[in-house]
Amino acid sequence: VNLVNGRSTEISRYLIPSPIIRKISFTGSTPVGKELAALAGLHMKRATMELGGHAPVIIAKDADLDHALSSLVQFKFRNAGQACISPTRFLVQDELADSFAERFGAAAKKIKVGSGLDPATEMGPLINEKRVNAIDELVRDA
């Protein structure tokens, strides 16, 4: 396994045509994924794309709410919520909505936020200022 970090457009135009490269795998934005998929197709390379998807969670009235809450708090806040599989929204049946929101909020407030270098930290910082601004906007919109 080899990982290459950098500007995808510069790297991909150099690497994908190479006969050494047999497959590409990309996790990221849809616009970049389209560009990489087109380049892979042009050079007949296999490609796997994990692109800016959404991960809704449905909670029905017969759900085990304790189990759902325990799992979803972990899933939602893993990697400061910056994982491509992190839930983006919860669709909760009316009968459970108030209880779910109250309990999820209480569990979220217990998460120890701090430096990613501190072993006691449960959730570290966002990756960059762009993400901080995006989250601030979501909070203001809520």
Residue pointed to by tokens 């809450």: 69
In a domain, 2, yes or no: no
Judge contact between 103 and 69, C-beta under 8 A. yes
Same domain, 137 and 100: yes
pLDDT tens, residue by residue, 65-122? 999 999 999 999 888 888 877 898 999 999 999 999 999 999 999 999 999 899 999 9
DSSP secondary structure of the chain: -----S-HHHHHHHHTTSTT--EEEEEE-HHHHHHHHHHHHHTT-EEEEEES---EEEE-TTS-HHHHHHHHHHHHHGGGG-STTS--EEEE-HHHHHHHHHHHHHHHHTS-B--TTSTT-SB---SSHHHHHHHHHHHHH-
Same domain for 60 and 43: no
58: left (phi over 0), alpha (psi -120 to 50) or beta: beta
Residue 1 belongs to a domain: no
Considering the domain architecture, whether residues 23 and 61 belong to the same structural domain is answered as no
Q: Give just the sign of the alpha carbon dihedral 104, 109, 114, 120.
A: negative
The one-letter amino acid code at 69 reads L
Q: Is 84 a catalytic residue?
A: yes
Assigned domain for 68 exists: yes
Domain that holds residue 28: 8-51
Q: Measuring CA to CA, which residue among 7, 25, 23 is closest to residue 84?
A: 25
pLDDT at 1: 62
- In this structure, is residue 64 part of a structural domain? yes
Give the Cβ contact number of residue 7 at 10 Å: 9
- Mark whether 65 and 42 lie in a shared domain: no
Indicate whether 88 belongs to any domain: yes
Residues 71 and 134 in one domain: yes
User: How many domains is the chain partitioned into structurally?
Assistant: 2
Question: Same structural domain for residues 91 and 68?
Answer: yes
- Give 36: exposed, middle or buried? Use CB within 10 Å, 0-12, 13-18, 19+: buried
Q: Does the annotation mark 102 as catalytic?
A: no
Residues 63 and 14 reside in one and the same domain: no
Catalytic residue among 50, 95, 102, 137: 50
Same domain, 62 and 107: yes
Does residue 136 lie within any of the structural domains? yes
* Catalytic member of 10, 84, 122, 129: 84
pLDDT class for 2, splitting at 50, 70, 90? Answer: confident
- pLDDT tens-place string over residues 3-52: 778 887 788 899 999 999 999 998 888 888 999 999 999 999 999 998 87
Residues 96 and 119 in one domain: yes
- Shared domain for 14 and 33, answered yes or no, is yes
Interatomic CA distance for residues 45 and 19, integer angstroms: 10
